[in-house]
Amino acid sequence: MDLLWFVWEPGPITAELADALAERARHGVRVRLLLDAFGALHADRNQIRALRAAGCTVAFHHPLLTWRLTTVNRRLHQRVLICDEKLAFTGGIGVGQLYTGDAQDPDHYRDTVLEVRGPAVVGLRGTFARAWQQTPHPLVTAADHFPPTPPAGTSAVHVMRSSSEPGWNDAALALTALLQVASDRIRFSTPYVRLASRFHRHLAAAVARDVQVQVVLTGPHPARPTVQWQSDRHVQRLLDTGVEVFAYQPTLMHAKVVTVDQRISMVGTANLDQRSLTINQQVALVVDDPALTAELDADFDLDLARSRRLDPARWRHRGQLRRLRAALADRVAAPLRGSGGEGLTVPGR
C-alpha cells in the first residue's frame, strides 16, 4: 500500500487511518507513506514513530529545516493512494477531520475524489514512484509485482503528473488545452483563483467565442483569509471578461474539478492558481467520459444551488479598504506563488 499525501493533520480520522496502516504492516503488507513536510507540519510525531515501529516506511518531502533554500517553496501537493497495485484514489482531500463530512457546515469541507481501476492505476503508481525516488529508500523491492492492469471500464484516462521545476508545468498545459478546445461550456470548482495574465486571456478568449465559463470559489469560509484576499483582484478580472463567478456558502470549496462540453473532465490536486501551475507537484486525471462528466456536472449544479453569484457591478465597487488589502496581499505573495522569480512567469505577458 502506497500513500502520497499533502495534508496530514492530527485528529480521530488520522489516528484511525494510521492504526489501519500499522495493522496491515504488522501482517506483512508493505506500507509506504510519503508526506509533504509543510502539509504534514502538525503531524503527530508519536504517531509517525508508531507507524515506523509497526513496519511502515515513512518519509517527508522537502524538509523545512534545510540548507537547500530553493526547495522550501516547492511543495508536494499530490494525493495518491494505491492498494495492491490494482486500485487507486486521487483528488483534493487531505487526511484530517475537515475532510470527513459532506459540506454540511463550515467544519466539513466540500471536496471530490475519484476511485480508479484499470491502466490508469499504473500512471498513479508512476506518480508515487516519481516522488518516492527522491527519498533514500529503495524504489523497487520484492514486494513489487507489477500485475497486469486490463481495462476496467470504457473511460479514456490520462494521468497528468506535473513536476516542481522552473517553467509552466503539465497542469498548466492541461488547463490551456481545455480552455482552447471548449466550444460550449467549461466549469471550474476551486478554492480560489490566482492566475497569470496569460490564463486570464485564455479565459477571456473562451468567453469571446461564446463559451459559458463558470467558476465556483470559496465564499465566507476560507481556510486562509490572506489567500482569499489575493484572489479578490483576479476575481475582478474574471467578472470583467464575462466569467460567471459564484461564492460557495456552506463551507470551504476545496474541490479541484474542471468539466468541458459535457464530455471531458479533469479531477485532481491543481487549483486555478499560479502556484499550482508553476511550482507545486500536482496530479490529476483528465478523463474523456460523458457519463463521469455528467456526474461531476450534477455535483456542480448542486454546488450552484448553495452558492451566491457575484454581481460584477457590486464587486467593482467593493470597499476601498478591501481593495487595498487585496492589492497588498496580491503583491506581497506574488513571489511565493511563482510570479517573476526563477523564470517561471513574467507578469503581463
User: pLDDT value at position 341?
Assistant: 40
CA–CA separation, 232 and 331 (whole Å): 12
Is 345 exposed, middle or buried (CB count within 10 Å of its CB: 0-12, 13-18, 19+)? buried
Beta-carbon contacts of 115 under 8 Å, excluding residues fewer than 6 positions away, are 87, 88, 89
- Judge whether 278 and 172 are in contact, CB under 8 Å: yes
pLDDT digits (tens, 9 = 90+) for 208-245: 999 999 999 999 999 988 888 889 989 999 999 999 99
pLDDT digits (tens, 9 = 90+) for 49-83: 999 999 999 999 988 877 766 677 788 999 999 99
- Highest mean pLDDT of the ranges 96-110, 157-171, 222-236: 96-110
Q: What is the model's pTM?
A: 0.92
CA–CA separation, 270 and 281 (whole Å): 9
Question: Residues 71-99: what's their mean pLDDT?
Answer: 92
Beta-carbon contacts of 16 under 8 Å, excluding residues fewer than 6 positions away, are none
Question: Residues 86-92: what's their mean pLDDT?
Answer: 96
- The partner residues of 300 in beta bridges, in order of sequence, read none
Q: Is 343 a residue whose pLDDT tops 90?
A: no
Smallest CA-to-CA distance from 1 within 14, 18, 9 is with: 18
pLDDT digits (tens, 9 = 90+) for 266-277: 999 999 998 888
Q: Is the dihedral of CA 89, 91, 95, 99 positive or negative?
A: negative
User: pLDDT value at position 342?
Assistant: 37
User: pLDDT value at position 165?
Assistant: 64
